[in-house]
Each structure stands twice: as structure tokens, then as C-alpha cells.
Structure 1
Amino acid sequence: MRAQLVQKWRPPLALVLGGGLAGTLILSLIGLIALRYLGPEIGFRNAAFLLGTLILLATSFLGWLLIRLLLSPIRALNAYAAQTRSHPGQTIDPPEQSGTVELHNMARNVVDMAEHLRNREMTIRSFTDHVSHEIKTPVSAIRAATELIEDGGALPPEDRALLAQIDGAARQIEEQLTALREVARAREMSHQGSSKIDAHSNRLQEEFADLGLSLSGTDLLFPIGESGLKIILVHLLNNARDQGAQRVDIAARLQPTGLELRVSDDGPGISPGNAAQIFDPFFTTKRAKGGTGMGLTILRNMLSVHGGDISLHPSKRGACFVISFAAAPSR
């Protein structure tokens, strides 16, 4: 059951702002009038000190009301949204302070939206697991049957070739099911923290020495943990190697719109027809080599959890992938 925001009377935003402005104006007028009449009685210096103290106390009370009704609820809602984003699979308690009527309604809509997204992710994960389980059972039976037939005695070459095709198709289905589960898991996976390319540069140079890596902007901080950044870099470098690239440039830089990571190679590139489909699930040009066509889909889902995105940019030679993280809003 979703936690409900506490129901109580809340002033409208117009009343809070209007009351604050009216209170400030009234205090100023009262001060002038009181100083006019108190000055001759107790002295203008004493009257000014007394009125200044009273105005300071009254203004402090108005400031406390504005903080309680506006600033604190906005901060609480911002903290709730940040926790929901960093822990997508967990249930986060809604903010207790909701201030005015407008802020309360906005907070309730944000909580409802977060719950809706959480339920949708859980539904996708549950459906994926259920479908994978239901299909895996008959596939396992097919593979077991092919093994029994092969062990049953000598078979003509035609029959043996047919069994090999059946077994290969069963293996391919199992690989696709595994990739499908990884895609659903990537939408929930959260690589917390931040990281720099520096943390992986030595290992990448060793593991991909045949690619002639060029790294720049390695000291820039990405809003994703080291494990997530490693998955991104390793996958793109493996793709470049599989395509026959000899050199890969990895460049991170700050842009007006945020942080950008550009991975470009000197391979044969991606044809215009394939470029429009490379992020589609199950699309691959390496099916015969065991490719599932889910790698880039997994990367895109994982990046979306951390406010990032991946896209293919036009390049004169080879392929150029750009990972972008939007700039954090100014405080």
C-alpha cells in the first residue's frame, strides 16, 4: 500500500505570498506611526530601538513561516526525487512536509508518478522472468532430446546436420532469453557513485593493446560508478575490435549541455540502414557468431537510470558513439 501524505489544512500559495508582502508593508507603516507618537514620550532613540526589536521579531516569524511553508517542502520533495532516482528498486517514504496546497498537490503527483514508474519496472521484470522461465523449459527439453538421439546410434549425415541445426537454434533461444533478462535487469541496476576514466585506463590499455587506444579527458568525473563506466567502455571497445578497428579514441569533455564521452574507431563503420536499428532489441549483424543484439540496448537502459544516453553520431570513418550526461540543474 502506498504511504499517504498526511492530510491537514494547508494555506494556498497566494495567501502565503500575499500575507508575507502585506505583513512586511503593515510592519513598516506601524513602525512609522508608532515612532511618530512614541518618540516624544520615551525619546526617539529608545522608541527606534523598541520598534526595531519588535519589527525584527515579527519579520523573523514571517521568515520562519516562509521557510516552513515553501523552502522546507521544496527541499524535502527534491530529496525524495533524488532518493527515488538513486534507488529505483526501493520504496521511499514520501515527504512529510508539503507546505501550501499547490506544493502538496505537486508532491502527491510526484509520489504517484514514482510509484507508477516503479510498478511498471516491476511488471516488466516479472513478465520477463515469467516468459523466460516458460520458454526455457521446452527449450531444455529440445536440447535433451537432441542429445538422446545423437547418443542412440549412428545417424546419416543429413540427420546429424539437422540435429545440429535444432541444437543450435535451442542454444540461440537460450542466449536470447539470457539477454532479455539482462535488459530488464539493466533498467533496475544502479551503479552508485561517480568515476573517472583514469580508474580504468591502465587495464584498458593492457586488455585492448591491439586497438591503439587514445584517451583524453580522463580526469573528468562521470555520475556513474566505476563498475558502470567499465561496462560501457569494455562493451564499446569489444564492438570496435569485432568490427576490425585498429585504433579507438576515447575522449571526455564538458559541453554546455553537460558531460560527453565520445568513443570513435577507424573500423568499417555502420551502414546507414543498420545505423537506424542498432539500438533496437535483438538486432545484430553477428547472429552467426553468437551475437544477441542486446548489448547496446542494455547500455542505453543502464545509462537511463543515471540520467545519461548513448547515440550514434555521423563519422567520416568508422563508428562514433557519444555518451552524454545532462548538466545538473543549478542550485
Structure 2
Amino acid sequence: MRRLSDAKWIGTKWRPRLATVVLAILIMVLALPLVGLFFFRLYENQLIRQTEGELIAQGAVIAAIYAQDVRDAGISPDKLGAPVEAESDDASRSDDSPYQPIEPSLDLASDYLLPTRPAGIAATTDPAFAVIGARLSGILDATQKTTLAGFRLLDPKGVVIAGRDEIGLSLGGVDEVRTALSGHYASVLRQRIPDQPPPPLYSVSRGTKVRVFVAMPVAVDGRVAGVIYLSRTPNNIVKHLYGERGKVTLAAIAMLFGTLLIALVFLRTVSRPIYALMERTRRIAAGDRDAIRPLDHHGTREMAELSAAFLDMAEKLQARSDSIQTFATHVSHELKSPLTAIQGAAELLRDSGEAMDAAERKRFSGNIVNDAGRLNLLVRRLLDLARAENLAPSGESTSLDAALALLPVDGRLAVGVEAGGTISLRISAENAAIVLANLIDNSARHGATQVLLAAATIEGKVTIAVSDDGAGISPSNRARIFEPFFTTRRESGGTGMGLGIVLALLKAHDGTIALVDSGRGTRFEISLPAA
């Protein structure tokens, strides 16, 4: 009942088909590059940090030149701005350390994206700072041609003294500039003003719409002497992809064909053999013997091994079924003969009444007793055969001498051990005695007067030779001696079950038995594992 309910549960529970699973996997593989576009932000953030680091480096150089020019110009301290504070991110560094690095800190995911930078306001420029700005303008222009960064040089009040068309305008109201004028480094992300229409791929990226702005205070005698204001649009992978759109398209086509190729290979090597094996299973279950043959196409080695194992199991089950059917036919025949004889004799005894004399009555009664005894013997031998075929090895061991000691003395013939009587065999003494008893009884029924046993160990196996001096077995019967119910001594009470029981017992202990040629009598060779 449990197995039946489990089978019903397996049949009713929903499970995806193999083709559905494969299709889902292929869709996921095909979609991975598209999903990867949404993870560009991580890479874009790294590009923004890289851009900020480059602007910091460039600004530091310009700041050093500007600070030196302020010192050389002899500008009085009262024209300078607020005190400058160190911007090092390393808390372990002291204020007296000669190294005060500024680490990039912008984060595309968390920093607020400010609107485009406000326009400058007209203001008055200090002549002393204007001279310095005019002298540095050439340096800034030359640098911009290589770095592509925008430079604005501001005085302590936030007025542009170098920076192309914004000279004389005040940027002091810009947030990052105001922070730098107070003596602190500042960097922000602002929306960029595109100078050309963005390509279609830009819609998937946030990093393509921003510009990095860095405001670095210039320190002279510990006070703000001005601000280096830099900006630049960071590099982005989307722009690169758009520029290589032809190659990207070819890659997408190649990926599509690659996915289809994977699907074709999987279909041919996995899916099709599985469905073929399922169809073959249904045919075998319906009784089609022709279905027990190898598949036309296995696909993979594992599938070939699975198919071979399945077909081997099907062949064994079919052979087992045939054996059971043949066995049932033999059993019914063997039981029918004595039952018919018993029934006939009993009916004669019943119907004859007083007309049958005592001698006839005794003869028919004897027939009934003899046939009943034969039935009883057949049933016991059938039980012995069933036990032998379903026997589980006990792991015990014995020897020929120990097994023979369990047998009663047979007055019909002499039994002797020529060699190897003490060699250990991986079989219990009781089962070994059953094997020897059947072989000895078989020899006695065929006219033998002597049975000789000899054992020897060869490569972990014990070979036992059982020879007698009887009439032997005719060539026409040699191939059938291990068939159940085959006997040439049926008149003398033979059941044809003895050698079948021997064979079943030895198989249960990983052993074998074979009839071999001999000059006289019969010779069997038994092979068993050594203990």
C-alpha cells in the first residue's frame, strides 16, 4: 500500500519537463549579458573614482604652482582667506606629517546628483591675483588639451582669475567652491551639459549623465589663497560599447547561435535518448520482447551505461519471468501425475465395494501411499529450492572435513577426501553438507560405489573436485542436468531437484558448479571463495 500510494504521489505532483528546464536555462544564459548592463553602475562608479583621483592629482600640481606665485608676488596675509584644514582620511596621521593625501570619495550610488553648475556672477578682481591668473592661463590651457579637464583658478573671494571665458566672474555661490573657500576639499557630481545628442545605449546608464567637479583650496601660510576648480566627464563603458556597436551586434548574434548550438547538443545527447528510453520502457512493460535491444543513439557515455544497465535488468526480468513460467509448468506437471494416480486409485476403492479382493485393495492402497509420499517429497524439495534461491550468505566458514562430519554414513558407497580437507570455505557447514549430500546421493543413484573429494586454493578461490565411479552421464543429458525436474531415475523416486538446489546454494555464496569430462563416472568441479 505504501509503494502504491508513493507511485500515485509521484504521478500527481507537478514537475517540470526536462525540455522546460533546459529552455529556462538557455533563456537565463542568453539574458545574462543583458542583465549585465544593469551592473555597469559598479564599473561606472570606479571610473568616477578614477576621474576624481586624476583631478585631485592635477589640482595638487596647479595648486603648488599657484601657491608659489602668491608667495613670490608678496601678497599680504590680510588678502588671504580662511584657514586651511588637512583633508587626510587616515586618522592615525598627525597634523605635523608631511603627507596629507586626499582620497577619492564620490559614490554614484549614494551621492546626490546636483543640477548643472550655476553660472558665474560678475565681480571685481584683485589686480595682484589677476596678474597671477594671466600668467597661469597658458599652463592651464596646455594642460587641458592633454587631460581634457576643465580648469578654473579662483582667488580667495571665489572670483575666476584664469579659466577662458569666465575670467572676472564669481563662483563663490557654488556649493563646492564655497566649501573650498572655507578651507576644506570638496567634490560633487553634477548633471553634465551634453555637447552632442546622447546615443540610445545611454538610457541604461546613470554615469553617462554626470560630470565630476573638484574644488581644492590652495594653502599659503596656512590660509586659503585661492581655489583650484576642476571638472571632467568620466569615461564610461556605454560610450565604448556604442562606439563598438558593430562588434557588439556580432557578439550578440554569435551568442544567440551559441545558445541554439547548446540547445541542439543537449537535445541530441541528453533529451532525445531519455525520451527514447522512456518509450522503450513502455514497450517492454507492454510485453514487446523486440524492445529489449540497444538504443539507436545514446548521446553520452553515462546515457549508454544507463541504457545498458536498464536493458540488462529488463533481460534478467524477462528471463526470470520465463523461468518462473517454465518452473510453474514443471511443478504442475510433476504434481499432477501423482495426484491423478491417487484420485484414480481412490475412486476404484470407492466404487468397487465388496467386488475387489484384499490383494487388489492392498495394491491400490499402496499406490496411494507411494504417490502421497512422492507428493510430500516434491513439496519438501520445492521448499528446499526456494530457501536456497533466497538464501543470504551468513559469512560463516567451514571445511570439507567439517561438512562431511554432519552427514550420516551412507551404506550405499564410500566417501573419501583425497586432499584439502582442512581448507576453509566461505560457506556454512550446514549448507556445505547439503551440497555434498545431494551430490553423493546423485552418485549413489547412478550406481557409484565410491566418491572422492579433493580441494585446492587458486587465486583466492577454492576449487573442489567431486568424482565418482558410477555410470556417468550420457552426452545427450549433460546440458540438462541442472534443469529443475530433469531426472533419468523418476521410476526410482528421483525428483530432478537435487542439482538445482546445489546450484542455487552455490550461487547464493558466490560459487559455481560445472560438469567436467572424466575417464570414468561423473566429475563435478565446485568453486567457492576462500575464507
> Which consecutive residues of structure 1, in runs of 5 or more, have no partner in the other structure?
4-105
> Are 1:150 and 2:349 counterparts?
yes
CA–CA distance in structure 2, aligned partners of residues 277 and 137 of structure 1:
22
Map of 1:173-212 to 2, 5 A cutoff?
A: 175-190=377-392, 192-193=394-395, 194-202=397-405, 207-208=409-410, 210-212=413-415
Q: Does the aligned pair in 2 maintain the 1:143–1:170 contact within 8 Å? A: yes
Aligned residue among 421, 435, 452 for 1:218: 421
> Are 1:301 and 2:500 counterparts?
no
Q: Does the aligned pair in 2 maintain the 1:128–1:181 contact within 8 Å? A: no
TM-aligned CA deviation for residue 199 of structure 1: 1.5
Q: Cα distance 1:191–1:289, how it changes in 2: closer, same or farther (>3 A)? A: farther
Q: Counterpart amino acid of 1:277?
A: R
Q: Cα distance 1:179–1:217, how it changes in 2: closer, same or farther (>3 A)? A: same
> Are 1:288 and 2:487 counterparts?
no
TM-aligned CA deviation for residue 171 of structure 1: 5.4
What is the count of residue pairs matched by the alignment? Answer: 231
TM-aligned CA deviation for residue 239 of structure 1: 1.9
TM-aligned CA deviation for residue 312 of structure 1: 0.8
Q: Cα distance 1:202–1:231, how it changes in 2: closer, same or farther (>3 A)? A: closer
Q: Cα distance 1:274–1:260, how it changes in 2: closer, same or farther (>3 A)? A: same
CA–CA distance in structure 2, aligned partners of residues 178 and 211 of structure 1:
27
Q: Does the aligned pair in 1 maintain the 2:393–2:427 contact within 8 Å? A: yes
Deviates more, 1:278-287 or 1:214-223: 214-223
CA–CA distance in structure 1, aligned partners of residues 373 and 401 of structure 2:
38
Q: Cα distance 1:138–1:316, how it changes in 2: closer, same or farther (>3 A)? A: closer
> Which consecutive residues of structure 2, in runs of 5 or more, have no partner in the other structure?
7-304
TM-aligned CA deviation for residue 293 of structure 1: 0.3
CA–CA distance in structure 2, aligned partners of residues 283 and 138 of structure 1:
15
Percent of aligned positions that are identical: 31
CA–CA distance in structure 1, aligned partners of residues 406 and 370 of structure 2:
35
| Secondary structure, aligned partner of 1:324 | strand
Q: More helix by proportion, 1 or 2?
A: 1
CA–CA distance in structure 2, aligned partners of residues 154 and 250 of structure 1:
57
| Secondary structure, aligned partner of 2:525 | strand
Q: Counterpart amino acid of 2:401?
A: D
Map of 1:312-327 to 2, 5 A cutoff?
A: 312-325=515-528
TM-aligned CA deviation for residue 139 of structure 1: 7.0
Deviates more, 1:288-297 or 1:207-216: 207-216
TM-aligned CA deviation for residue 242 of structure 1: 2.4
Q: Does the aligned pair in 1 maintain the 2:438–2:498 contact within 8 Å? A: yes
> Could you state the TM-score of these two structures normalised by the residue count of structure 1?
0.52
The CA deviation string for residues 165-214 of structure 1, in whole angstroms up to 9 with x for no partner, is 6876665455434433332221013452311123234555x714741523
Q: Counterpart amino acid of 2:384?
A: E
Q: Counterpart amino acid of 2:342?
A: R
TM-aligned CA deviation for residue 259 of structure 1: 1.4
1:268 is aligned to 471
Q: Does the aligned pair in 1 maintain the 2:338–2:371 contact within 8 Å? A: no
The CA deviation string for residues 126-158 of structure 1, in whole angstroms up to 9 with x for no partner, is x989x979x979976973673464263342789
Deviates more, 1:287-296 or 1:171-180: 171-180
1:248 is aligned to 451
Q: Counterpart amino acid of 2:494?
A: G
Map of 1:73-112 to 2, 5 A cutoff?
A: none
RMSD: 4.7
Q: Does the aligned pair in 2 maintain the 1:139–1:174 contact within 8 Å? A: no
TM-aligned CA deviation for residue 267 of structure 1: 1.7
Deviates more, 1:150-159 or 1:185-194: 150-159
| Secondary structure, aligned partner of 2:354 | coil
Q: Cα distance 1:289–1:167, how it changes in 2: closer, same or farther (>3 A)? A: same
- Of structures 1 and 2, the one with the larger relative CO (CA 8 A, separation 6+) is 1
TM-aligned CA deviation for residue 229 of structure 1: 0.6
Q: More strand by proportion, 1 or 2?
A: 2
Q: Counterpart amino acid of 1:306?
A: H
Q: Counterpart amino acid of 1:253?
A: A
Q: Does the aligned pair in 2 maintain the 1:150–1:160 contact within 8 Å? A: no
The CA deviation string for residues 248-282 of structure 1, in whole angstroms up to 9 with x for no partner, is 21111112362111111122211111222111111
Higher CA-based Rg: 2
